[in-house]
Homo-oligomer: A and B are copies of this chain.
């Protein structure tokens, strides 16, 4: 199967550049089941990183176009490469293949691994949006907390050791104070640091790499022949070529 990992920002033009896209592609490919091909694609325009609802919103129209393009290009599934799942519900309306949101699917995975999970993210400015995301996924009752490391996205990779130290510190806090028994890394750049296993060993609880979780969710759905419900995400009325039965 062919899975596209779509970055909802112009990473190739930014500081991380095409090299980072290739690094992520190699990681994703190394995580894939035999028979899966993963391509990493970015969009031509948009914010350099997403650390606010405002930036997430600006990234959406290009992301929606990218998702539609991926389906036309024959991909079996697309992953929206941002933990905030920008454009997820709209994208599901306009295509038939599975559209994976790393935030949604890694929180649902966390819900399977324990009783209460926490999300560790980059900045305080997206703590409340992630809590809303968990609630929309139906997981309000399983969310122990969302806490931020207070490291901007574009700083995360600059000093890996400092980043790890800070993540361990926040991780200990969510386990001890918030009684989390599983942790989700709530940022894709954080996930692509590929330190989830190291953190898990340190903290004594499972730590979910949202990139890996998203890939597995894509492979799982495609392999089951499932996609998102068109009754939940109907084709926008004005785009319909044939009239849909009205849901009485």
Contacts and interface: CB of A to CB of B under 8 A. Distances in A.
A114 B228 contact: yes
A167 to B, nearest CB: 16
Q: How many copies does the complex hold?
A: 6
Interface of A: 31, 33-35, 47-49, 51-58, 60-61, 64, 87, 89-91, 93-94, 104-105, 108-109, 111-116, 123-125, 128-129, 131-132, 135-142, 150, 152, 175-176, 179, 181-182, 197, 204-206, 208-209, 212-213, 216-217, 219-220, 223-234, 236-239, 245-248
A236 B125 contact: yes
Contact of A52 (B55, B61, B142, B234): B234
A129 B61 CA distance: 18
Contacts of A138: 111, 138-139, 141-142
A16 B179 CA distance: 34
Contacts of A128: 115, 181, 232
B35 A33 contact: yes
A236 B51 contact: yes
Contact of A129 (B89, B105, B113, B208): B89
Contacts of A142: 138
Contact of A108 (B108, B115, B223, B224): B108
B58 A238 contact: no
Contacts of A137: 111-112
Given A209-B224, A229-B206, A54 B246 contact: no
Interface centre among A112, A239, A245 (most CB of B within 10 A): A112
B208 A216 contact: no
